[in-house]
Amino acid sequence: MWCYYFTFAISIVLAFVLGRKSVDHGVFRLKIDSPRQMAIVMFPIAFSFLFRWGVGVDANWYTGSYPQIYRELMRDPTLNYDAELVFSLITKTFCALRIPYFWWVFFLGAIYLYAIGKFIYVWSTNVPLSLFLFLVSDMYLVGFGALRQILAISFLLLGYCEIRENSHCVRKWKVVIYLLLATLSHTSGILGVFVFALAFVRIKFRNLIICMLGFTVASPITTVILRRVISLTVYGKKYADTIYSEGQSAETHIVLSFLILLVSILMHKLIMDENKQNVLWINTALAYYVLMLNSSALIQTFRIVYYFTPVVLILVPIITSVIRKVKTRLITVWAVVLVCTLMFVNSYHIGNGKLAFTPYRTVFSHPEFLYRS
């Protein structure tokens, strides 16, 4: 795992060196000035991500499910591939052109890292902190295997970027295209689109508090109702009584989402004063908390959560940026770092979570896969 930590450390240091610090009306920002500089910052992370080989789960050439499908389609690209339209189209195109498996994974990973990099560049008020959260929130390592889902998430992130970059004249058609591509990349992208749309509902401050308290009190009842509703769906019936429907309660995410939402409410005015568009992230924080509160009723909670994780990458840095006192800001930053690090350690260092990602290897150790499958 130290290879991953090392590349992130380099990128974070580069973000500090190339970043521009500013304090405007008491709001501290540490941003990158140009896309070119952001590309330099992302390069170490991108290298470790894009040139990996034989690590991860689903996309691992030796043990994963994706290479099995890819080999079959290489033999006959006309075979039926039971996957969403956009993902299937990309896969079949690569297979029809006889492009090696490595470059297919590289292509999908490049889209993801471009979307993440642009998302942090456009939205974050503290780029080094967002990069750190990109690792410990698990959005980095999940990209090693969940190829269809990270493609859907990529398009959603680009949709968020479009909203931020064109706040005065949003090109709605472009946002709609990104959302459509997300749903056609992975079925779960529908949830991401729902969260995206919900984020723009104007919730008054008083109603925000009522919603938080109301859903908390009602959670024992809503969990039962939600479990029943899901069990009646095709999706629910498919995974009934499997490991994907049992023990799905996400305690750590319940705590994290609660803390983020609580602090967002306490600092609501300061967050909104930083940028009126931050209502998007406060609403997402509420949706994140409500869904995690009912996580025991869900199926594959460990996958669903990634549609809410972007709020961690953006809202946490915003919260730390709007704190006026320097000492308080530093204490808050270190508290966030500590909590998220503990979550990451729990996932990858307590138990066997890290085994699929170690030892780290690059494709250059097996150069034959650069030109053949």
- At 239 the pLDDT is 56
The SS3 of residue 22 is strand
Q: At CB < 8 A and 24+ separation, what contacts does 177-185 make?
A: 179/155, 181/86, 181/155, 182/152, 182/153, 182/155, 182/156, 183/84, 183/152, 184/84, 184/85, 184/86, 184/87, 185/84, 185/86, 185/87, 185/148, 185/151, 185/152, 185/154, 185/155
- At 235 the pLDDT is 57
| β-sheet bridge partners, residue 23 | 28
Q: What is the pLDDT of residues 130-156, one digit of tens each?
A: 999 999 988 999 999 889 999 999 999
Total H helices, total E strands in the chain: 17, 2
- At 170 the pLDDT is 54
What is this structure's pTM?
A: 0.91
- At 33 the pLDDT is 92
CA distances from 223 to 80, 227, 283, 285 (A): 38, 6, 21, 19
- At 76 the pLDDT is 87
Tokens read off for 22: 């500013």
Looking up tokens 């990451």 gives 344
Q: Which residues of the chain have pLDDT under 70?
A: 165-171, 231-249, 299, 351, 373
- At 19 the pLDDT is 94
Beta-carbon contacts of 204 under 8 Å, excluding residues fewer than 6 positions away, are none
- At 166 the pLDDT is 66
- At 253 the pLDDT is 83
- At 229 the pLDDT is 75
